[in-house]
Every structure is written in structure tokens, then in C-alpha cells.
Chain A
């Protein structure tokens, strides 16, 4: 038997508006830019992505779930996206609920705020995982059994944590220097754990869809579902599992509708299921049904990002390191207030995207478009972010908390 585990990740941050030091103390709303057509206008972005990606993708997926009883998939959806859909687009949230209601769409656990809290404060990390689980129960009525950390960041320590927390599966990048001669197409056991199973992304096949699909200079363009399922079937003959992990926004936003990406998605299950001994499994189903083939030891942190597969796009430069240090330095003070608005804002500022916007890595390779940001420069991103940090300090001072 050969299975595909299709896993899609949906996330939108709350982007900080162009917030100056002169706003600090005067305006405590950081995420409410309502300038039409501006990339820091969160409602505008949600509407745009909903129209281009979420609604169409969910439409295709629900059709597929109805047509093919054997089709299933896993998805993760962050708290910051759910919140925004609740406020701006309940219709889109309903379409996600419809998917989950089929019983064949698994939801994966993660941090509510798509944060890097695991690397800075374990108690804050656990609080955010808890918040996410509550939200998922409230909205979808399910309890996740598999875990992913932000940007598939992963190390042995995280696996041990997830194992203790009772998750059945955890996922990360199938990175060659880690795997060595081994294949990502099996289930593994993380070093130092007893129960949990590790699924690793087949990045070659995943990226054929997520990154190369519309590239006309690619020798394999155009990619058809037939060709793709053939590759997947042939991918290392004994392999049991093809882990296709990618952003939800691949469909319609990263690859626009006119590239044919929706037609591709629509015909993928049919083509795959028509091949001998082929089926789909959710991440938890794969963990439950497949045997562990080996132990995987990852002491250092890896992610699914960039050619380096590390956290340097978020924490690579001094601006990023200093801002994240600043935001976590307020932990005790903020939490001691029991002021839910203040705590929520502080947590929204932990979303990894804020640090990503300060990335200067692309200066060296000149690949400006590789790092999308709503700001003119990483320095603007830094300034606006730091000004919200100052305002958090102001709000603490108002409560008599001296930082």
C-alpha cells in the first residue's frame, strides 16, 4: 500500500499598521489599518486571500470529499486566522467547518499565534497550544492528535515535549542532511521518545506543486496530475507514504487560478486512487497504521524554510533577535496584569511573521520577491514593531507596572 498524506497549512498574521512613536500612549490599536488596498490593512488581505484561495480551495476540497469516499487530508489553521475570519468573513470559516464536518479532514495542533514561543518561553508556548486547542474545539468540535510547530520548526526537545503531551504524530521537514541515505517516505521515531511518530515532508514532490507548478522555465512544465501521481508512485519504490505538506495559500494565492492549480487539485485524487494499492491517509492515520522504520535524531532546530532549512529568516539578524528578546522580556509583567486585551495584543505581537518582515537575508542574494512584506523595508518593519513595544510598556506603566 502506498499513501499520500496531504497536509495544508492556513495562516494569516495580524499585521502592524505604520505605527509611530507619536502613536505610542495615544492609540492602543496596532492592527486596525483601514486604508483601502493597503497591505497592512488586515481585512483587505483576508478578503483578497479569501476570494483568491480559501473559498475556491474549500469548494474543490468539499467536491473531492463528496466524490471520493477514500479521500482525506489534514489541515492546520492558526488562531490569528480564525479570529480574523470570525470578524471579517464568517462565510469562509463556515466553509472550513463544512470540510471538518465530513469527518475526513483532520486538524493539526499548533500555537494559536503562529509564534516561536517554544524557543523563548516554554510556559508561554504551552499556553498558546492550549488556547489553540480550545479554539479548535469551540469552532470545529474536534481535538487534535498530531502536532506541528510554527514553520515546521523542530528538534528532539520539541518531539519529547509533544510525546509527553500525548500527541500521536509530529511533522517536520524531510531534510537530506538529517535523513542521509534514508527516505522521507516512511514513519520514524524521534530520539528520546516512546510513543510519538515523526512524519517528514517529501519536499521535492511538495515543492513541485507549491513552488514550481507555474514556472514556465521548468523543464517539466506544465505539471499534470497524471505526471505527478506517476512520480509519486515511482518515488523510491519501497516507500509507504508520500508526505505532501504545503501552505493552504498555494492554491489560488501563490499559484493563481489561471495557472491551472485548481484543475490539478481536482484531478489529483482520482489519478492517485486509480493506481494500484494507492490511498490517502491523514497524518494521524499514517502514524497509527505504519510501522516505525528507524530513529531520527535532530538535536539542532530545523524548519521547512529556505535552502538553509533553519530559523534565519526569522531570527537571522540583530533586529530580529533584539525585538524578539524585547517582546518576551515583558512576559511576567504582561501576564501579571490579567488584562485580556493587553495579553492578547502582546501575544499577537509574537506571531513569527513580524520578525520575518525584518529579514535582510535577501540583500545578499538580491531575491527581493522571495520575502514578501507589507512594509517598504525591514527597517520600517522594525520601527513600527518597536513602537508597539513601547506602547505595551506605556500600558503597563498606566497600571503602575514599571518595566
Chain B
């Protein structure tokens, strides 16, 4: 089966969960016989990836000055954002915005489908949907779109708001045109049905899984990077950990408020936040306003051994998202043997029964749960054991198998 996979990031060049999910899913699909061409919006060295072709060259010179991952990061793929670059990759003083990245990406996908035959096109999230629709229009091959997050999740929208209307429209159009939709959780499937009016029988739920020993987690491990935290733990402190983008979606203001309440009960708690984003500075200010900055650590964006060592040292992982389609980091935490607290408004809550589940807005319950878990080893051990059973039920082989069924259903619809 020949698959044209459209993604926006891929380890080792990635910022969020979607990159790692694309990597693992593609790998396991390839292992079960799929032949994958993976198209990214930037050029980078992917010689380590041998199970599929990343950015293959179909015709000789397609883009005169291709973008690098660094360019993409700076633009952060906002519809309105634009960044001025002065380096060798782009013309000096040139301004790059979303439309230009899109047109370069569309060009690459057009080049792929003109020069090669594919059985399906599999597009991940809104940034690749236009290219996915173009591929379907040009060739008639079935379009599968994979929803890792919708604009409702990202913008923390309530029942009356939509987030960015342009993005919402692209998502809606993509979902309408898709032959099948993959949702990463029942939570997300329900949201797609409710907010985009898509028939539920067009949507398959395929939960993410996790490779704890995948390359992006097992980089060289430096045990000394959290020497301070280890020392504080020897003094009786407990470490509560969160990793993710610092955006409205992640519910972190609420977590800081809960942290304040928890610290009033037990001052020996440290809260570690790994991540950056548009709310990063607001969170720093908030921790100071609450008077808890001595117990809250912000590292900025980190990955590799920084993440791994954080998971290993954490006494509790908490993901209080306002709306989280899946929540891969929770699986990682469980894989490292850490008890987890998750918001009910998340996909991962559906599959990890050993997690404490609460409403993202209920800071009192959150504070109580934090203190209860770190103070009661019996509770935390039980949570870990029970979570690990559910963790073991998840596998990328299973997810890959379900994805192939989705492909077959989509192709069947065309026969």
C-alpha cells in the first residue's frame, strides 16, 4: 500500500506531541508493510529515518530556497504572523508568512502526486489539510485526515466561540472532504460531531501509544541536570511535573492556583514546568503574584534527556488541560512509573483508569489531589500499578493495525 503522509514536524525536528505520534505511527505502519512518502514543510537531515522516505525528490529543482525547521519555528505557523529573515536560505530581508509556507508545501505535494501514484493520502491536522485536499482533487485518491487537535482545543474555546475563524474553516472544509477521519480519542470524536456537524460513522477513534525507547527519549542521559531537584527531594520535597505548550489550552493558570492552595497545606512541594509558548511570561508573573515563585521552576522548552530525567524524578505528573484531544505526555509519565492527575476534558482520561480525573477548573479538588498523591505512598503506588496495566494495553502495532483498516475502508468507498 503506497501512502502519501503529510505532516508538519517529525523528530528530531519537532516541538509537540504530533511530531512523535507521526513518527511512531509511520514506523509501525511501515513495519507492517506500508510504503510511505512523508512530506514536511521544511528541509532537514532525516538520514536516520530509514523506514520511509522523508521529503523525497520527485523532480529536479522544485523550490529554489527551501525553508529550514528554524524558519518554521520562528513563524510558528500562525495565519497572521510574519517574520523577516536575513540569511542564506531565503532572500535577504524577505518576509515569510503562512501563505508562503503553504504555497511552498502545496507545490511539494503537487509534485509528489504528479510524479508518483499513491493509494491514500493521510494528512495530519489543519496545517496539512489544504495540501491533502489538493492531492485528492488532482488524483481522486482517498483522503484520510488525522485530527490531533482542533482549533477549539487550541484556543480554549467555550460553546460560543470558535478560535481563529480561518483555521476553523480549513478544518471544516477538510473534514467535509475527507473520506475518513481519524480522531485520537472519543473526546475528540464527540467534539468533531458536535462542533463540526460531521457524521459520527465517518470517524474512527485510534488512541495514540508510546515508544518509551524511541530515539527522541533515549538521547544521552545526563543524570546531573536536575541536581538541585534531587537535593531538594532528599530534604523531603516532592516534585510535581508538567510538560507542554504554555497556551490557554493547557489550563496552567488553574494549576498554579491549585499549587498555591497545595503549598499552603504542604510547603515542601516543587512544581516543574517544561515548555514555552505565548503564555510563558504570564505564567511566570502569575507564580510571583501568588507568592509561590520559590517553589515553581520554569525551564523553557526542553526535550531529550531533560524530559526523560524530569519524568524519572517526578513524584506526580499533572495535565490539567482545558481541552486535550489526547495527551501523550500522560502515557510517557505512566511509562516511567509516575502517578498521573488528568483533567476529565482529555482523551487520555478515557484509557488510563488509574489516573485521578478532575475538572480543569476545580482548583480545590486539584490541590487536594496533589497533596493526597504525594503524601500517601499507598495511593500513589496503587495508581501507578493500575495505570501501567492500561498503559500496556496500548501499542503502536495496534494503532497501526486500526489505521490500515481505516485506509481499506476509505479505499473500499472508492471501489
Chain A residues within CB distance 8 Å of chain B:
20-22, 24-26, 317-323, 325-326, 329, 377, 379, 382-383, 386-387, 389-391, 393-394, 397-398, 402-403
In the complex, the answer to whether B235 meets A402 with C-beta atoms within 8 Å is yes
In the complex, the answer to whether A393 meets B299 with C-beta atoms within 8 Å is no
Complex CA–CA separation, A386 to B271 (angstroms): 14
Complex CA–CA separation, A323 to B224 (angstroms): 26
Minimum CB–CB distance from A400 to chain B (whole Å) comes to 9
Stretch at the interface among B80-88, B195-203, B226-234, B394-402: B226-234
- Measured between beta carbons, the chain B residues less than 8 angstroms from A319 are 284-285, 288, 293
Complex CA–CA separation, A391 to B235 (angstroms): 14
Interface residues of B in 278-295 (CB under 8 A from A): 280-281, 284-285, 287-289, 291-294
In the complex, the answer to whether B306 meets A323 with C-beta atoms within 8 Å is no
- B298: Cβ under 8 A from any A Cβ: yes
With A22-B226, A389-B294 as contacts: A397 and B232 at CB distance below 8 Å: yes
In the complex, the answer to whether B235 meets A386 with C-beta atoms within 8 Å is no
- B297: Cβ under 8 A from any A Cβ: yes
With A323-B293, A397-B232 as contacts: A26 and B288 at CB distance below 8 Å: no
- Measured between beta carbons, the chain A residues less than 8 angstroms from B287 are 322
- B165: Cβ under 8 A from any A Cβ: no
Residue of B nearest to A403 (CB): B235
- B236: Cβ under 8 A from any A Cβ: yes
Interface residues of B in 321-370 (CB under 8 A from A): none
In the complex, the answer to whether A397 meets B227 with C-beta atoms within 8 Å is no
Complex CA–CA separation, A26 to B289 (angstroms): 29
- In addition to A326-B293, A393-B232, A394-B232, 8 A-B residue pairs with Cβ atoms within 8 Å of each other are A21-B229, A21-B297, A22-B226, A318-B291, A383-B284, A389-B294, A390-B297, A397-B235
Interface on chain B toward A: helix, strand, loop, or mixed SS? helix
Minimum CB–CB distance from A62 to chain B (whole Å) comes to 46
Complex CA–CA separation, A321 to B232 (angstroms): 24
Complex A-B: 8 CB contacts under 8 Å: A24-B228, A318-B291, A377-B281, A379-B280, A382-B293, A383-B298, A386-B294, A398-B231
In the complex, the answer to whether B299 meets A20 with C-beta atoms within 8 Å is yes
In the complex, the answer to whether A390 meets B293 with C-beta atoms within 8 Å is no
- Measured between beta carbons, the chain A residues less than 8 angstroms from B229 are 21
In the complex, the answer to whether A25 meets B284 with C-beta atoms within 8 Å is no
Complex CA–CA separation, A318 to B281 (angstroms): 12
- Measured between beta carbons, the chain A residues less than 8 angstroms from B298 are 383
With A393-B232, A402-B236 as contacts: A386 and B227 at CB distance below 8 Å: no
- Measured between beta carbons, the chain B residues less than 8 angstroms from A26 are 224, 227
- Measured between beta carbons, the chain B residues less than 8 angstroms from A379 are 280-281, 284-285
Chain B residues within CB distance 8 Å of chain A:
224-232, 234-236, 280-281, 284-285, 287-289, 291-294, 297-300, 306
Residue of B nearest to A21 (CB): B297
- Measured between beta carbons, the chain A residues less than 8 angstroms from B299 are 20-22
Q: Which of B234, B285, B294 contacts A326 (CB 8 A)?
A: B294
**The 4 nearest A-B residue pairs measured at CB:** A25-B227, A24-B228, A318-B288, A318-B289
- Measured between beta carbons, the chain A residues less than 8 angstroms from B289 are 318, 322
- Measured between beta carbons, the chain B residues less than 8 angstroms from A382 are 284, 288, 293
In the complex, the answer to whether A390 meets B228 with C-beta atoms within 8 Å is yes
Complex CA–CA separation, A325 to B280 (angstroms): 22
- Measured between beta carbons, the chain A residues less than 8 angstroms from B234 are 397
- Measured between beta carbons, the chain A residues less than 8 angstroms from B297 are 21, 386-387, 390
- Measured between beta carbons, the chain B residues less than 8 angstroms from A393 are 228, 232
With A322-B293, A326-B293 as contacts: A22 and B306 at CB distance below 8 Å: yes
In the complex, the answer to whether A394 meets B288 with C-beta atoms within 8 Å is no
Minimum CB–CB distance from A364 to chain B (whole Å) comes to 14
Minimum CB–CB distance from A384 to chain B (whole Å) comes to 11
Q: Which of A326, A386, A387, A394 contacts B231 (CB 8 A)?
A: A394
- Measured between beta carbons, the chain B residues less than 8 angstroms from A402 are 235-236
In the complex, the answer to whether B294 meets A391 with C-beta atoms within 8 Å is no
Residue of B nearest to A358 (CB): B288
Minimum CB–CB distance from B6 to chain A (whole Å) comes to 35
Minimum CB–CB distance from B269 to chain A (whole Å) comes to 14
- Measured between beta carbons, the chain B residues less than 8 angstroms from A397 are 231-232, 234-235
In the complex, the answer to whether B291 meets A394 with C-beta atoms within 8 Å is no
In the complex, the answer to whether A391 meets B284 with C-beta atoms within 8 Å is no
Minimum CB–CB distance from B242 to chain A (whole Å) comes to 15
Minimum CB–CB distance from B310 to chain A (whole Å) comes to 11
In the complex, the answer to whether A386 meets B293 with C-beta atoms within 8 Å is yes
In the complex, the answer to whether B288 meets A322 with C-beta atoms within 8 Å is yes
- Measured between beta carbons, the chain B residues less than 8 angstroms from A22 are 225-226, 299, 306
Minimum CB–CB distance from B413 to chain A (whole Å) comes to 52
Complex CA–CA separation, A84 to B309 (angstroms): 38
Q: Which of B226, B228, B285, B306 contacts A391 (CB 8 A)?
A: B228
- Most chain-A Cβ atoms within 10 A of its Cβ — which of B234, B236, B288, B289? B288
- Measured between beta carbons, the chain A residues less than 8 angstroms from B284 are 319, 379, 382-383
With A317-B288, A318-B285, A379-B284 as contacts: A394 and B293 at CB distance below 8 Å: no
Complex CA–CA separation, A379 to B227 (angstroms): 23
Residue of A nearest to B282 (CB): A379
- Measured between beta carbons, the chain B residues less than 8 angstroms from A20 are 299
Complex CA–CA separation, A329 to B293 (angstroms): 13
In the complex, the answer to whether A325 meets B291 with C-beta atoms within 8 Å is yes
Complex CA–CA separation, A390 to B232 (angstroms): 9
Residue of B nearest to A401 (CB): B235
Minimum CB–CB distance from A83 to chain B (whole Å) comes to 27
Complex CA–CA separation, A26 to B230 (angstroms): 12
Minimum CB–CB distance from A301 to chain B (whole Å) comes to 21
- Measured between beta carbons, the chain A residues less than 8 angstroms from B236 are 402
Minimum CB–CB distance from B264 to chain A (whole Å) comes to 15
- Measured between beta carbons, the chain B residues less than 8 angstroms from A21 are 226, 228-229, 297, 299
- Measured between beta carbons, the chain B residues less than 8 angstroms from A391 are 228
Minimum CB–CB distance from B350 to chain A (whole Å) comes to 34
Residue of B nearest to A402 (CB): B235
Minimum CB–CB distance from A54 to chain B (whole Å) comes to 36
Residue of B nearest to A327 (CB): B294
Minimum CB–CB distance from A214 to chain B (whole Å) comes to 32
Complex CA–CA separation, A320 to B284 (angstroms): 12
Complex CA–CA separation, A202 to B394 (angstroms): 75
Complex CA–CA separation, A389 to B228 (angstroms): 11
